[in-house]
């Protein structure tokens, strides 16, 4: 009996439900997401063996999600596409997918393809664990932070918040996204807890030489990197 974990990333509810049912019947452990940001968070937190990833999803699209998760995950990626020209796009851009399946497909075919990719040996891709945003450098492997070469001592929560905020400098991270990233799905932290930890993180970054507005507040939404210091 298979106990492999499969993440389904598909924004159309009807299709997502059919895929979930087929995989569950095949004895896979299944979770799902309807957009790119949620998918990336689930890959980080849940660490699935296989990601079924639709190309056209809200937020970061399937190609961008595939590129990002390749930086920290060795999950097999099976792209779901709706048109033949999308297959050409996948191949041409070398997004890093292990296989693709063109819609419409049968549940039996989908399950067979998942079993097929799971039989392949996974060779982890080399990645650069360092992320540099303006004067701030975040090392994801070492879990360290520097500002202009000066080490910044962060707590686990502060590091997770900074990693999330700097993951995409053009995107706002909502408080809910940050809460799930830093504390996990089950923890009942509130918006105030997020704000307090971001405030402490800001203070440490500024003390090390970062601009006071390196982390910008988007009122009523969350936080992002200040676009002027990228």
pLDDT at 22: 96
In this prediction, residue 154 carries a pLDDT of 92
Read off the pLDDT of each residue in 212-226 and give the average, rounded to a whole number. Answer: 92
170-181 pLDDT tens trace: 788 999 889 888
pLDDT of residue 92: 37
The rounded percent of the chain whose pLDDT value lies above 70 is 86
DSSP string, 70-122: TTT---EEEEEESSHHHHHHHHHHT---SEEEESS--HHHHHHHHHHHHTSPP
**pLDDT tens per residue, range 58-101:** 988 888 888 888 778 888 899 898 766 665 555 534 556 777 78
Is the pLDDT reported for residue 229 higher than 70? no
H-state helical runs in the chain: 13-25, 36-46, 62-69, 84-93, 107-118, 156-167, 175-183, 191-207
Percent of the chain with pLDDT over 90: 49
Architecture of domain 5-118 in this structure: 3-Layer(aba) Sandwich (3.40)
More confident residue, 72 or 14: 14
Topology of the domain covering 130-229: Arc Repressor Mutant, subunit A (1.10.10)
Let me know: does 54 contact 13? Beta carbons within 8 Å. no
All structural domains of the chain with their residue ranges: 5-118, 130-229
pLDDT at 1 over 60: no
């Amino acid at each position: 009996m298979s106990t492999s974990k499969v993440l389904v990333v598909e924004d159309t509810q009807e299709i997502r439900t059919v895929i979930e049912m087929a995989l569950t019947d095949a004895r896979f452990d299944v979770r799902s997401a309807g957009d790119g940001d949620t998918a990336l968070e689930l890959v980080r937190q849940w660490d699935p063996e296989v990601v079924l990833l639709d190309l056209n999803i809200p937020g970061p699209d399937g190609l961008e999600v595939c590129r990002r998760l390749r930086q920290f995950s060795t999950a097999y990626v099976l792209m779901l596409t709706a048109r033949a020209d999308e297959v050409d796009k996948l191949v041409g851009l070398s997004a890093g997918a292990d296989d693709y399946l063109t819609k419409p497909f049968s549940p039996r075919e989908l399950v067979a393809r998942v079993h097929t990719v799971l039989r392949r040996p996974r060779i982890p891709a080399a990645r650069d664990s360092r992320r540099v945003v303006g004067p701030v450098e975040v090392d994801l492997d070492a879990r360290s932070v520097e500002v202009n070469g000066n080490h910044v001592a962060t707590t686990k929560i502060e590091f997770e918040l900074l990693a999330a905020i700097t993951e995409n400098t053009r995107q706002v991270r909502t408080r809910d996204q940050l809460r799930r990233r830093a504390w996990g799905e089950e923890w009942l932290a509130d918006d105030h807890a997020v704000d307090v930890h971001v405030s402490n993180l800001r203070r440490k970054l500024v003390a090390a030489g970062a601009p006071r507005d390196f982390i910008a507040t988007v009122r009523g939404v969350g936080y992002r990197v200040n676009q002027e210091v990228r």
